[in-house]
Amino acid sequence: MMALYPGTFDPITRGHLDIVERAAEIFDGLELAVVMERGKELCFSADERLSLARSSVREAGLEDRVEVTLFDGLLVEYMRRRDLRVFIRGLRATSDFEYEFQMQLMNRRLAPEITGIYLMPAENNMYISSTLVREIARYRGDLSSFVMPSVESALRRRMGEGAPTDRT
C-alpha cells in the first residue's frame, strides 16, 4: 500500500525527513506531496519547495522509496485521483494534535474511505518547525542540525548571505 505525506514544506526540515523515513518503512511506497498553497505567505515558491524537497530526500538517501510531487486543491480529492487511501501527518505537540484532529474529522466527512495516520518524530526532532528554521536563518544561526545542506544553502541565499564560515 502506498501512502501520501502532504505538507507545505517551507522549507522541508530534518523533522519532516524523520517522518518520511518512518512512513517509508511502514508502507510499500510514499509520496511526499508539496502543497502549492496560494493563500499563505511563503518563503519559497511551489517550484522551489518541490526542488528542495527532492534534493533533501536525495541527500537523506530516501529517493528509492519516496516520490516527491506537487499538488493543489483539496487533499482528499487529490488522493481520490491518485487512488490513495492513507495520508501521513507528523505530530510534535498538543497544538499539532488539535489542528490535525479537526482536519481528520473534516477529511473523514468529505471522504470516509480515506484515513490519516499520525507519526511522531524522534525526540531530537520534536521541536523543529519550518517557522523556527526560517527564524534561525533570518538571524544567521547554525542550520546544519535542522535542514539538509541544499536547504541551508537556499535559505542563506534567500536571507541574503552566503554559507556560514564559523559554526561555533
Distances (CA, A) of 113 to 1, 117, 118: 14, 13, 17
Give me the residue spans of the domains in the chain. Answer: 2-153
3-state secondary structure of 42: coil
pLDDT in tens, the chain (168 residues): 999 999 999 999 999 999 999 999 999 999 999 999 777 789 999 999 999 999 999 999 999 999 999 999 999 999 999 999 999 999 987 767 888 888 888 989 999 999 999 999 999 988 899 999 999 999 999 999 999 999 999 999 998 865 444 444
Task: Please give the pLDDT value at position 165.
Answer: 44
Task: Please give the pLDDT value at position 22.
Answer: 96
**Alpha-carbon gap, residue 72 to 121, rounded angstroms:** 26
Could you list the active site residues?
Answer: 16, 40, 92, 130
CATH class of the domain comprising 2-153: alpha beta
Task: Please give the pLDDT value at position 161.
Answer: 62
Task: Please give the pLDDT value at position 163.
Answer: 47
Bridge pairing between strands 66-71 and 29-35? parallel
Q: Which residues contact 132 (CB under 8 A, 6 or more apart)?
A: 146
Task: Please give the pLDDT value at position 97.
Answer: 84
